[in-house]
Amino acid sequence: MAEISTFATTTASDNYPTIDPTSFDLIVSGTGFSASLLAAAASIAGKSVLHVDPNPFYGSHFSSLPLPSFLSYISSSTSTPNLYSHVETSSQSLPEPSRSFLVDLIGPRVLYCAEETVDLLRRSGANHHVEFKSVESSLVYRDGKLCSVPDSRQGIFIDKSLGYAERRQIWKFFQLVQSHIKVTRSGTTTEPSEEGGVMIPEEDLEMPFVEFLKKQRLPPKIRALVLYAIAMTDYEQDDVDSCKRVVLTREGIETISLYSSSIGRFPNAVGAFIYPMYGHGELPQAFCRCAAVKGALYVLRMPVVDILTDKESSKYIGVRLESGQEIFSSKLILDPSCQIPASIIPRENLVSSKLSRLVARGVCIIDRSIESNSANILLVFPPKSLHQEQLTAVRALQLSGNVAVCPPGFFIVYFSTLCEDAVLGKVYINSAIKALFNSMELSTESVEAQLKEEGESVAAQTKEEVETKPTLLWSCTFVQELREASYDAAMSICPMPDANLDYRNILSTTQQLFENMYPGEEFIPQNSAPDNIDDADEGSPE
């Protein structure tokens, strides 16, 4: 054995189990979404896998934690160094029973019914370990009010917030998109087909999406609906020259296509989106179960404290665990919270593009639904809808007890927005919170006081808002760093949760990492689910 060099000192402990064997094809540290999916893919490909996590729970930065544990996790400087900051809560006292609230670290997030993550769950058999509920409503904040997102023919023509001409305009645009999708899938040309279908010209697909929408003569209100509430664009697009990230027509059409194909895919899903029962932490655990069935070994409460390298070649050869045991492998995957010197994995091997380093997030608990006839609701605040200088969309997701994340009679609402400045990002989150909810301080007495000061008409308006808006019972705002995925020949670092609504970007990055580790291997092939799926729990993680 070559002489080993390390970059840290460790202490051994007798309180940890001895791992046998001591050599694997792949070691994975951290059970986040990307890491767990890579462990499952490697196991399915026939690799021997050791999967460890320093935490006593699965999911890492993608986990769903009881409310007290959630606060401890994002506030801990030892377990999550520099990843979470500016943590602020509205009250020291938590709603009771506090442990009955399961809080996503990555909220707000949903899955499109037709996105590839759902297909991977089905191909691998992980769908047998997680259940989903439908997100029933999609709303957009416009002119100080919440309006339905007209995302289907029925939705367009029952939307009272749109005039007749506006409904015709948006329906005509959707017909163009559907025609393009149909013709593209059939492989025909840009010439009109017998059915009247036509493809969008290539030059239009390569232009900024906002310019294409203007070319279609869509007015500003309809453009904002399409850009931010359906195509899910992050940055304000009207000023292309100063925009942080310009979305091209091709990308916008692809997202609208995914949105459209998601509606009606599953009979029990009302709209385009679904949410996992018990929170997003169930997804990485489902993939861990798949890996365990294929032979992966799982050990929780087991930190990696050292990277072992060959002293002569400086190449990676293994890890030292906190137990003091040395485990060897040809490949290593690390959680983004691991402190690895830049010399170990060069920055030129970064995988994901980084447009902003921060995302501001918020978690709120309220006493009733934003909409009386919907339990699980997606909301979008387009750029400039809250502040004139607001250049990023704010997204929000309300969840009810029917997805088992809070007790009956309560609702959890998540908020997020990209930001370069933590303080400004939290300003936009707090503005969205204020737009949706009453604070605990608003009361009959405050309305009566306002009546004396400002007159009956103003007080009546305030009273109506108090009576119609949910009451904010508790809130937490914080800022998360967006760390990139990186790799070299032997080691990879998984990405942090991004600021997107779905998993598409994280999944693409994960596939790139897998292809780099195992060129030529198929990433979770069709029919990867075990034949004895009913017995899958026998090899599942605890």
CA atoms within 13 A on the CB side of 207: 12
C-alpha distances out from residue 271 to 136, 264, 405, Å: 6, 7, 20
Query: Judging by DSSP bridges, how do beta strands 316-321 and 304-310 pair with one another?
Result: antiparallel
Place of tokens 């596939």: 511
| Domains of the chain by residue range | 4-63+278-353+485-523, 66-104+139-145+355-481, 152-262
Calpha distance 429→199 (Å, rounded): 39
Q: Domain 66-104+139-145+355-481 is in which class?
A: alpha beta
Torsion of Cα atoms, 276 then 269 then 528 then 39, to 10° = -20
Label residue 247 exposed, middle or buried (CB < 10 Å: 0-12, 13-18, 19+). buried
pLDDT 10s per residue in the chain (542 long)? 344 433 333 344 557 889 999 999 999 999 999 999 999 999 999 999 999 999 999 999 999 999 999 999 999 866 676 799 999 999 889 999 999 999 999 999 999 999 999 999 999 999 999 999 999 999 999 989 999 998 777 777 777 778 888 888 888 898 999 899 888 887 655 555 444 567 899 999 999 999 999 999 999 999 999 999 999 999 999 998 889 999 999 999 999 999 999 998 998 888 999 999 999 999 999 999 999 999 999 999 999 999 999 999 889 999 999 999 999 999 999 998 887 666 677 666 767 644 458 999 999 999 999 998 899 999 999 999 999 999 999 999 999 999 999 999 999 999 999 999 999 999 999 999 999 999 876 544 554 555 566 666 655 555 555 668 999 999 999 999 998 898 888 999 999 999 999 999 999 999 999 999 999 999 999 888 876 544 444 333 33
Identical fold for domains 4-63+278-353+485-523 and 152-262, yes or no, is no
Task: Say if CB 381 and CB 393 are below 8 A apart.
Answer: yes
Q: Which CATH superfamily is domain 4-63+278-353+485-523 in?
A: FAD/NAD(P)-binding domain (3.50.50.60)
Q: Which CATH superfamily is domain 152-262 in?
A: Guanine Nucleotide Dissociation Inhibitor, domain 1 (1.10.405.10)
